Amino acid sequence: MRNIRNLLSLMNFKISHIFREGNVCADWLANKGSNLVDYEEIDILNLDLAFRGMLLLDKASLPYIRHG
């Protein structure tokens, strides 16, 4: 931790927290990755429908509202 703090003191940076609702695409990818056993490549032409919807909403700058 001391080494990390020393390295960070040499940089100009800002750390902020974004709730999962603020970046649902990153949250979806993180959850998917945490459940993988082996490497899996994501095929952009064959995306999961839920993820595709999240990407389209993000691209349109619209909020994603979780249900359930």
CA dist 50 → 3, 29, 46, 47 (Å): 41, 12, 12, 8
Whether 53 is covered by a domain: the verdict is yes
Whether 34 is covered by a domain: the verdict is yes
Dihedral, CA of residue 41, residue 47, residue 53 and residue 54, to nearest 10: 0
Domain that holds residue 66: 16-68
Q: Which two tokens stand for residue 44?
A: 């952009």
Structural domain count, the chain = 1
Whether 47 is covered by a domain: the verdict is yes
In whole angstroms, give the CA distance from residue 37 to residue 34: 8
Whether 46 is covered by a domain: the verdict is yes
Whether 39 is covered by a domain: the verdict is yes
pTM, two decimals, is 0.65
Judged against a pLDDT cut of 80, whether residue 61 lies above it is answered with yes
Q: What is the pLDDT of residue 68?
A: 64
In whole angstroms, give the CA distance from residue 9 to residue 17: 20
**pLDDT tens profile 8-58:** 899 998 888 888 888 899 999 999 999 999 998 888 889 999 999 999 999
Q: What is the pLDDT of residue 2?
A: 93
Whether 8 is covered by a domain: the verdict is no
